[in-house]
Amino acid sequence: MNQFEYLRPASVAEAVAAASEPGAAFLAAGTNLLDLMKLGALRPSRLVDVTRLPELSNVEQLDGGGFRIGALVRNADLAREPAFAAAFPSVAEALLSGASAQLRNAASVGGNLMQHTRCAYFQDPASACNRRDPGTGCDALTGENRSHAVLGWSNACIATHPSDFSVPLVALDAVVEIAGPDGRREMALEDLYPLPDAHRAPESGLRPGEMVVSLRLPPEAASFRAHARYLKLRERTSFAFALVSAAAALRIEDGRILQARLALGAVAARPWRARAAEALLFGAVPSAENFGRAADAALADARPSGDNGFKIELARRVIKRVLLLAADGTPERMPALPASAFNLENGAVAHV
């Protein structure tokens, strides 16, 4: 059994100080961390329990329509917060498509953003993994890799980021607020997830001792509420990670797209913002043909990292469909199967 020290700080400053020691890890709900500790993939020498820090549990609506969400807010609570879900329906849909109801009731916003990859070789201490043990190699390159990256990968790492929640957040320019030994700072959520280079596969852009204390969505993000969707393709409809997912948000006036946001999930080590596709859609008429061109642009640099070439065509179809769903408009009610491909074309299903 791995021996570790357990600390329960009374403030963010105490938590940061405690986690600045080598081998320390923050503990919130533990839905990811504890599993990895049981597997032996992670062996922290100190757990810093932040679950009793009240300042991290607030949902605050900001002037202009933005939101600040504390890192300890539960996924299910945020998805069911009426004002938040109305302003950012694709984010709520992504939250409700993740894991299971029991896990959503326990898992925290900050923990979801900071969760580790679900690559089986990362989870297996007997396998070579540059994320878990830098410099050891990547067994996924020649192993079971059908679910691995097709964008932004290198021979150092072909893992994908598993979060549903982060995909529409990246599309909507979300920002994370961070506390650390040198004070507070913020960064674009997209930058929290570095891509692997030829030699390194960093887990996050955080410095030692830093923690995410809140997430902020800008007021501009709410302007997409009328045409915003999330679509997740997976092996089964519940309690499964995405093979490919996509978040689309459109501003449409007089039959033309004034602004488009598009991000992909489960295709790279970070939620993948498809800016070339967004630029292509500016001023375009919402149509299957134009959305197909956008999908081609989004995947222009995609290439298999192993036995996963099918994911490129799968991603192309998911992009086209999520854009069509977004163009049709956000449903008045959350679909009974959030983000599922089994909903009707307008995204809703019959409610009893």
Domain 226-328 has CATH 3.30.1490.20: no
Residue 321 corresponds to which tokens in the numbers above?
């469909």
What is the C-alpha to C-alpha distance for residues 352 and 347, in angstroms, rounded to an integer?
Answer: 16
Let me know: does 286 contact 251? Beta carbons within 8 Å. no
> Please, which pLDDT band fits residue 289 given cuts at 50, 70 and 90?
very high
What residues does each domain of the chain span? 226-328
Residue 81 corresponds to which tokens in the numbers above?
């917060």
- Distance, first Cα to last Cα, the chain: 50
91: how many CB neighbours lie within 10 A of its CB? 31
Helix (H) or strand (E) holding 253: strand 242-253
> Please, which pLDDT band fits residue 136 given cuts at 50, 70 and 90?
very high
Helix (H) or strand (E) holding 170: helix 166-171
Q: Average pLDDT in the 177-189 region?
A: 98
Q: Is residue 333 exposed (0-12), middle (13-18) or buried (19+ Cβ within 10 Å)?
A: exposed
pLDDT in tens, 241-254: 999 999 999 999 99
Asked whether the predicted pLDDT for residue 329 surpasses 90, the reply is: yes
pTM: 0.96
pLDDT in tens, 220-238: 999 999 999 999 999 998 8
The radius of gyration of the chain from alpha carbons, rounded to an integer in Å, stands at 20
Asked whether the predicted pLDDT for residue 79 surpasses 50, the reply is: yes
What is the C-alpha to C-alpha distance for residues 322 and 295, in angstroms, rounded to an integer?
Answer: 10
> Please, which pLDDT band fits residue 199 given cuts at 50, 70 and 90?
confident
Distance from the Cα of residue 340 to its chain's centroid: 17
Asked whether the predicted pLDDT for residue 350 surpasses 70, the reply is: no
Q: Which residues contact 104 (CB under 8 A, 6 or more apart)?
A: 74, 75, 76, 79, 95, 96, 98
pLDDT value, residue 102 = 95
Across the chain, mean pLDDT equals 95
What distance separates the 2 farthest-apart alpha carbons in the chain? 64
* 3-state class (DSSP) for residue 25: strand
Residue 243 corresponds to which tokens in the numbers above?
């093979």
Asked whether the predicted pLDDT for residue 273 surpasses 50, the reply is: yes
Of 25-29, 172-176, 270-274, 341-345, where does mean pLDDT reach its minimum? 341-345
